[in-house]
Homo-oligomer: A and B are copies of this chain.
Amino acid sequence: MAEITIKYLAEKLKMAPSTVSRALNDSYEISQPTKDKVLKLARELNYQPNPYARSLREHKSKTIAVIIPERINNFFSQVIDGIEDVTQQHGFHLLMYNTHEDIQLERKIISYLLNGRVDAIVMSVSSQTSEIDHLETVFSKGLPIIFFDRICPQIPTTQYITNDYESGFKATEHLITRGCSKILFLLLSKEISIGVERLRGYRDALKAHKIVFEDSWIVQCCHEEQDNVEKISMLLQSPQRADGILASVEKLAIATYRAVNKQKLSMPKDIKLVSFSNMKIADLLCPSLTTISQPAYEIGKECAIQLMKKLSRKTQPDLESVTKTFPSIINIRESSGG
């Protein structure tokens, strides 16, 4: 790969490299004829600047890291599409990392990003993230970071969530109006921010409807589908089983379907289900799934817009320390009784 460099162009054109560089960057200091000559040759030879030389010199990389806890997930895919659509227009590149919900991996990934590899980070923390010193390091180093969905309220930066408390409340209320009185809340173990808010909404809805809450209704699940199916199956075969389930995450709704089938129960007759989910085919499931869906693409776009705004300014003002809320939508379908 014999690369075309500025030096090479300069030789061919019998100019100084500095002149070529300035012409390429359309500097006001360079005459039009010179610019024309340089551009012409650059195009002919398909000159592409070496991004790393530029990054080293400029101390910026024009790349952004996106860190998510799970890749096979419509919500995150949609968020990333939103991010990419914006950053691409600004000539930014996206470095992508999946933590697999593993805090150790998350720390390691963060450590790779600490020396100029990226100009900013957009991130949804893993469900294991309770200690946050690695995230504090990012912030204290001055590396811009934005959180979405699974946020980190302790870090004073811009964060995007949806109205999780309200959605949890409404979803629970919906189940209650459909006749449920024993409602299980499924969540991932130790899940932060979103789980907490959704849970609060759920509990307050129960309280508002004078349903006496039992501790056993909060069910900590894991990331292994088979384990979750078995756990939920067990719960469903108990004599005083629940009549409603609120799944705080899509994968737990899937596990519920499997458990219901396994126990040969009928949904929504025996058990009703609502889940947070951005699945596009929720309406094609058997029975169709009542979902609370988040405006994922818009969230991604907004993250990127804020970042682009910050990074494009000469004097980069700090990202505002604020948590912005997008509205989720509840789509009532058969799984909850329609």
Contacts and interface: CB of A to CB of B under 8 A. Distances in A.
A50 to B, nearest CB: 5
Interface stretch (A51-59, A157-165, A175-183, A230-238): A51-59
A331 to B, nearest CB: 15
Q: How many copies altogether?
A: 2
Interface stretch (A22-30, A114-122, A145-153): A114-122
Given A1-B143, A95-B95, A96-B96, A115 B84 contact: no
A52 B50 CA distance: 10
Interface in A186-239: none
Contact of A72 (B1, B55, B74, B117): B74
A48 B111 CA distance: 8
The number of chain A residues touching the other chain, given as a range, is 35 or more
A320 interface: no
Interface string A73-97: 1100110110010000000011111
Interface in A240-275: 254, 257-258
Interface stretch (A7-15, A32-40, A281-289, A321-329): A281-289
Interface of A: 1, 3, 46, 48-53, 55-56, 61, 63, 71-74, 77-78, 80-81, 84, 93-98, 111-112, 114-117, 137, 141-143, 254, 257-258, 280-281, 284-288
